[in-house]
Amino acid sequence: MAAANGVHGVRVGVIGGGQLARMMIPAAIELGVDLRVLAEAEGMSAAIAADRVGDYTDTATVLEFAREVDVVTFDHEHVPQDVLRALVDAGVPVHPGPDALRVAQDKLVMRERLSELGLPVPDWARVETVADLDDFIADHGGVAVVKTPRGGYDGKGVRVVRSAAEVAEWFATIAEDGGAGALLVEELVDFRRELAQLVARRPSGEVVAWPLVETVQVGGVCSEVIAPAPRSAGRLADVAADVAITIAEGLGVTGVLAVELFETSDERILVNELAMRPHNSGHWSMDGSTTGQFEQHLRAVLDLPLGATGSRDDWSVMVNVLGGPAEGSLTDRYAAALADHPTVKVHNYGKAPRPGRKIGHVTATGDDLDAVVYEARAAAAFFQD
């Protein structure tokens, strides 16, 4: 579909056609990178750069797509290991690579590797039976968080339980889902707030960290991000950056890595989740940092020098548009929203509104945190009923 975009340019192939692939397109156009997307279906968010529609779990489809690009990267972490290994065996540069992605694909593997790296994580265990799970719950004050090792996102596959019986059906299915017949159980962390540390690492080793951010989740879905995280300067920011850089280097991550963190009531930092790709917690950087995460991801996977990650303003606040209007589209609300909020940046993912679906975000920046939070929330409210 899209013609060659970039004379003598480099070609980056993105597997997956969602909004993360979409938001790589503007950065690719500015840099003169020829971005090609293997989309799951027609009409997806990244359709303008979608060269091909096909099944990312099919090795032949992915190999054929990869033949036309210089490096393969991802909109999501769901490409199966055998497909990833086939790409590597065929000599295709894949960033992040299969070994790193394996850690993001399986929460049990993630907990094992983070523990091996000596990083702070919640108490956790691999449980294969109801009895094991009930033991863990009993040892942790009668409550725990159970997670399916694979396939969860935005709160799916995560459940707070007081009895193993509450996830009985998960035990019934784990044998089939590639999770090696086990669930992950973790202590329910008494956290003060959630933070996220975004870093980028290129294959030749350079790694950079953006400012630590605070994330607000509603129902397991990111709702709002404040950059930098208030009251985080100094030790907290240093520890978070160290943790994320240790993970990026320890796991050999290439591209953007997001590390979701808990700040506990007793002022510790614990690693919650990892995402080995541009991440919702980093959308603020498109408007709020010298280098946005999508530009940085392209630079990183191409092994180009990384850009400066400082904030352009004292504060940036990103608010997700979740669901959107009950009737019509985001653009129907522009006349009202843009008139009231001339400084806010609106990002529209080109997706049809649907309850709970991430269909866009808005970012405000400035030097007065209260005003910036107000601007971002008020603008986003125009897009919700």
Among 58, 332, 368, 385, binds a second copy (CB under 8 A): 332
Among 90, 138, 165, 338, binds a second copy (CB under 8 A): 338
**Interaction with a second copy in 13-32: which residues (CB under 8 A)?**
22-23, 25-27, 29-32
- Give the annotated binding-site residues: 107, 147, 186-189, 194, 272-273
Asked whether the bond before 26 is cis by omega within 30 degrees of 0, the reply is no
Closest by CA position to 75, among listed 135, 134, 153, 147: 153
Beta carbon nearer to a second copy, 44 or 195: 44
Among 14, 15, 21, 49, binds a second copy (CB under 8 A): 49
- The Cα 312–Cα 228 span in angstroms is 11
Q: According to the binding rule CB under 8 A, does residue 172 interact with a second copy?
A: no
- The Cα 236–Cα 251 span in angstroms is 22
The least distance separating a second copy from the CB of residue 298, rounded to whole angstroms, comes to 11
The least distance separating a second copy from the CB of residue 384, rounded to whole angstroms, comes to 16
- Give the annotated binding-site residues for ATP: 107, 147, 186-189, 194, 272-273
Question: What is the dihedral angle through the alpha carbons of 75, 25, 294, 231, rounded to the nearest 10 degrees?
Answer: -100
Closest by CA position to 208, among listed 96, 106, 121, 289: 289
Q: According to the binding rule CB under 8 A, does residue 374 interact with a second copy?
A: no
Among 65, 124, 349, 383, binds a second copy (CB under 8 A): 349
Among 156, 331, 356, 368, binds a second copy (CB under 8 A): 331
Residues facing 50 on adjacent strands: 37
Total residues at the site for a second copy (CB under 8 A)? 56
Q: According to the binding rule CB under 8 A, does residue 350 interact with a second copy?
A: yes
- The Cα 145–Cα 157 span in angstroms is 10
Among 346, 376, 379, 380, binds a second copy (CB under 8 A): 346
Q: According to the binding rule CB under 8 A, does residue 36 interact with a second copy?
A: no
The residue assigned the tokens 């489809």 is: 61
| Contact indicator for 319, 327 with CB cutoff of 8 Å | no
- The Cα 53–Cα 76 span in angstroms is 16
Helix (H, G, I), strand (E, B) or coil at 30: helix
Other residues' Cβ atoms within 10 Å of the Cβ of residue 223: 16
Q: According to the binding rule CB under 8 A, does residue 319 interact with a second copy?
A: no
| Contact indicator for 191, 157 with CB cutoff of 8 Å | no
**Residue ranges binding a second copy (CB under 8 A):** 1-10, 22-23, 25-27, 29-33, 42-43, 47-50, 290-291, 299, 304-308, 312-313, 328-332, 334-335, 338-339, 342-343, 345-352, 360
